[in-house]
Amino acid sequence: MQAMFITETGGPEVLQYGELPTPVPEAQDILIEVAYAGINPADWKNRQGLLAPFRPYSFPYVIGFDAAGIVAAVGGEVTSFKPGDRVFTPTNHGQGGQGSYAQYTLAHQHRVAPVPDSLRLDQAAALPVAALTAWQALFDRGGLQPGSKVFVHGGSGGLGSFAVQFARWAGAGVAATCSTANVEYLRGLGVALAIDYQREDIASTLRAWAPDGVDLLVNAVGVSSLPGELDLIRRGGTLVSIPTLVDDGDMAAATAAAQAVQVKHLYSMMDDSQCAATLSRIAALVAQGDITLPPIREFPLTAAAEAHRVIQSGHNRGKLILKVADLE
């Protein structure tokens, strides 16, 4: 198969296009012919070797978590999918498997969901990691309640665009930060308060909206960009930090500091072990129009390095995807 892979970690230039063996599904795996691979910040961090504490790097190594495509074959114990089905998934990449920047990729059946008829594959490829992480941070870890006040730090990126909409859909009032260029975009997603972090003081602007502090703060940017984050949360409230690998500070000290002021503090890593049901739920919300897809910018697979430069800037609005094959 054709794939974009690396033979050493490093900058975007280490990504190379060439031929690799097509993977073979194990009993519970689905072999997917990839139409589109979704891009996440984890991809450039992975390319640079920052995921080494979580996985061995075995070269040639295919980057990429997210995929949408067509089932090509199934392992002997797969019952709910058959060749020809349209599917999307965060693949087996989080468990160390080869990724989605390739003509074919593998995903355990518990990580695969069908793409609703009304969604295209390019749209589905934008969902897995960003939407799943947002969902788990708000609901599974954050325990979001209707009527609560939620602050999403970093509202205009992949994760943030879903987080602000999920929170609003669940009946919360939502405030979020973004740069000047994204204020109107965030307002369009329905946030009650879009805070321009380049021009406004986040703490005083938020305090005017939530005088006792917010019920739930999701930090999707990193600790250094939000000094004093605990002061923004009411006593008894919750802080959910999305681990970034590059700006997480002293995690144990942060949790102790939160405890001292009666704020529940959790780190929310994406958990894709049994994510098929949540992915289906998210896809249904998108299909029925409750959640709007963020802007999706497409690159050919061979331009993965260019796409990595954009995601690595840390200021992309919405999602980036790679077109791997014309399958619909």
Ligand X SMILES: NC(=O)c1ccc[n+]([C@@H]2O[C@H](COP(=O)([O-])OP(=O)(O)OC[C@H]3O[C@@H](n4cnc5c(N)ncnc54)[C@H](OP(=O)(O)O)[C@@H]3O)[C@@H](O)[C@H]2O)c1
Q: Is 315 in the site for ligand X (CB under 6 A)?
A: yes
CA 55 to chain CA centroid, Å, is 19
Phi, psi of 22 (to 5 degrees): -70, 135
Q: Is 31 in the site for ligand X (CB under 6 A)?
A: no
CA 201 to chain CA centroid, Å, is 27
3-state secondary structure of 121: helix
Smallest distance, ligand X to C-beta of residue 117, A: 27
Task: Name the one range near ligand X by CB under 6 A: 29-37, 74-82, 154-162, 207-215.
Answer: 154-162
C-alpha–C-alpha distance, residues 21 and 173, integer Å = 49
Q: Is 112 in the site for ligand X (CB under 6 A)?
A: no
3-state secondary structure of 150: strand
Q: Is 242 in the site for ligand X (CB under 6 A)?
A: yes
Smaller CB separation from ligand X, 270 or 321 = 270
Smaller CB separation from ligand X, 29 or 272 = 272
Phi, psi of 290 (to 5 degrees): -70, -30
Smaller CB separation from ligand X, 26 or 247 = 247
DSSP string across 74-99: E-TT--S--TT-EEEE-TTGGGT---
CB 312, CB 44: distance < 8 Å:
yes
Q: Is 42 in the site for ligand X (CB under 6 A)?
A: yes
Q: Is 178 in the site for ligand X (CB under 6 A)?
A: yes
Of the candidate residues 248, 314, 325, 327, the single one contacting ligand X (CB under 6 A): 314
C-alpha–C-alpha distance, residues 224 and 159, integer Å = 19
Q: Is 189 in the site for ligand X (CB under 6 A)?
A: no
Phi, psi of 108 (to 5 degrees): -60, 145
Of the candidate residues 71, 164, 316, 321, the single one contacting ligand X (CB under 6 A): 316
Smallest distance, ligand X to C-beta of residue 194, A: 10
CA dihedral (264, 269, 272, 278) positive or negative: positive
Place of tokens 């009650």: 192
C-alpha–C-alpha distance, residues 190 and 186, integer Å = 7
Smallest distance, ligand X to C-beta of residue 196, A: 9
Of the candidate residues 275, 282, 311, 322, the single one contacting ligand X (CB under 6 A): 311
Of the candidate residues 46, 89, 105, 244, the single one contacting ligand X (CB under 6 A): 244
Smallest distance, ligand X to C-beta of residue 299, A: 15
Q: Is 150 in the site for ligand X (CB under 6 A)?
A: no
* Neighbouring residues of 320: CB distance < 8 A, sequence distance ≥ 6: 38, 39, 296, 297, 298, 299, 307, 310, 311
CB 124, CB 286: distance < 8 Å:
no
* Neighbouring residues of 152: CB distance < 8 A, sequence distance ≥ 6: 160, 163, 164, 167, 174, 175, 176, 177, 218, 220
Number of residues that bind ligand X (CB under 6 A): 31
Smaller CB separation from ligand X, 81 or 169 = 169
Residue nearest to ligand X (CB): 157
Q: Is 182 in the site for ligand X (CB under 6 A)?
A: yes
Smallest distance, ligand X to C-beta of residue 284, A: 21
Smallest distance, ligand X to C-beta of residue 243, A: 4
Q: Is 63 in the site for ligand X (CB under 6 A)?
A: no
Site string for ligand X, 211-230 (x = CB under 6 A): ---------xx---x-----
3-state secondary structure of 317: coil
C-alpha–C-alpha distance, residues 154 and 159, integer Å = 8
Of the candidate residues 97, 157, 213, 237, the single one contacting ligand X (CB under 6 A): 157
Chain residues in the site for ligand X (CB under 6 A) = 40-42, 129-130, 133, 153-154, 156-160, 177-179, 182, 197, 220-221, 225, 242-244, 269-270, 311, 314-317
